[in-house]
Structure 1
């Protein structure tokens, strides 16, 4: 009897830290005794639904990030894939790396998470994978709050429900990989994983509950808040 297909969790850490004030890759910022990327990798790897964890690193930083994982997460098995020139390019690279397993049917779900969201926990990873298996795709969302439209100096309320999208985002692997191949052929680059999926597939992307604490560390103030919250764990 063949083994059931598995979910793969991916952490993207190929960006830079210009707005947060980091000298280089902000993923390596230390927060409560551990790098930001290590917090994110640990959360992905701790989900019982995820069998493999992949870290996408910035070009030229393989040795640095491999040593960082060995020092901070010595008991966690992590695979490494070089990122691209953009978020979309990094996602395409990791899907290309996984393509043989996706096409063989041994990987059925791919979850993608930002290293810059270190407060997401294993429960959110698990919820995303489970929803992707049943619905096709899953993204965590939060209500956007009061949003107004300004036109010619006048403010009017927007009469619709808007949400803020977070990561992790999880999708069935085969259509996800096909979407990125179609995007490459069309010269399309999405702002996040779901934008590519929505354009090139008919997958039903299911909204799951996000968390206010699962914010993206973008500015210097975010570093202070994230460190305080992580210190309380």
Structure 2
């Protein structure tokens, strides 16, 4: 099995705010994105790594990216960026791991778990929800307490046979997964779900946080400074 990774980092980080996208901010002496990319570039079973940047940055990619990493330009939507990354791996790999560049700490064990399961079909890492979950109505009233037994929080990398990922996005070009309700398409596993393609779950990793807010970045920096996460080499 040949595996490749697509690290998506073309977003502008509007929710985070600031002049620079969050994936280029400092984390332990290197950019957040550098952590994400190195995790895959250093994994012994990942043969190719593609980083998807905005068209402006892809034209002059940062010099701190590891040797051998390919850079491609992304699109307006996340799906466009994933498609561009997957196309760069056409004919080269059997399995594609799609990862958010704003998740700096995917462990080698997590990458391996996803990769092994993805050989059989789409897979997403999930961690249990520990808090009590409430459903709140439009008026701000608690409507019910929801059982958390079957709920989990999805992470990346998400894994797919290359052929399945390519077919999913080809159907997307035909409008097969256009959204007509309140739920926006937030990841590729959701695209598969909408098309009736079975998606499996594997154990996620609580340390594999996503940097969305400034508080998240502060937590990530503490994880590095405290030694909870090994410093980047």
State the TM-score, normalizing by the size of structure 2: 0.86
CA distance in 2, matches of 1:217, 1:159: 27
User: Which residue does the alignment assign to 1:18?
Assistant: 14
User: Which residue does the alignment assign to 1:184?
Assistant: 173
Q: Secondary structure at the match of 1:117?
A: coil
1:193 and 2:188 matched: yes
CA distance in 2, matches of 1:159, 1:192: 24
How far the C-alpha of 1:80 sits from its partner, in A, is 0.8
| Contact 1:14–1:84 (8 Å) recurs in 2 | yes
Q: Secondary structure at the match of 2:190?
A: helix
User: Aligned pair count?
Assistant: 217
| Contact 1:17–1:23 (8 Å) recurs in 2 | no
| Contact 1:58–1:84 (8 Å) recurs in 2 | yes
Task: Give the alignment of 1:28-177 within 5 angstroms.
Answer: 28-69=24-65, 73=66, 76-99=67-90, 101=91, 106-133=92-119, 135-144=120-129, 145-151=131-137, 153-159=141-147, 161-177=150-166
Determine which of 23, 26, 34 is the counterpart of 1:27. 23
| Contact 1:12–1:115 (8 Å) recurs in 2 | yes
State the TM-score, normalizing by the size of structure 1: 0.86
User: Which residue does the alignment assign to 1:206?
Assistant: 200
Gaps of 5+ in 2: 179-184
| Contact 1:183–1:200 (8 Å) recurs in 2 | no
User: Which residue does the alignment assign to 2:209?
Assistant: 215
Superposition RMSD on alpha carbons, in Å? 1.8
How far the C-alpha of 1:21 sits from its partner, in A, is 3.2
How far the C-alpha of 1:201 sits from its partner, in A, is 5.3
How far the C-alpha of 1:132 sits from its partner, in A, is 0.7
Q: Give per-residue Cα distances to partners, 1:171-213, cap 9 Å, x unaligned.
A: 11111111110111126353201011222353x3221111221
CA distance in 2, matches of 1:55, 1:22: 22
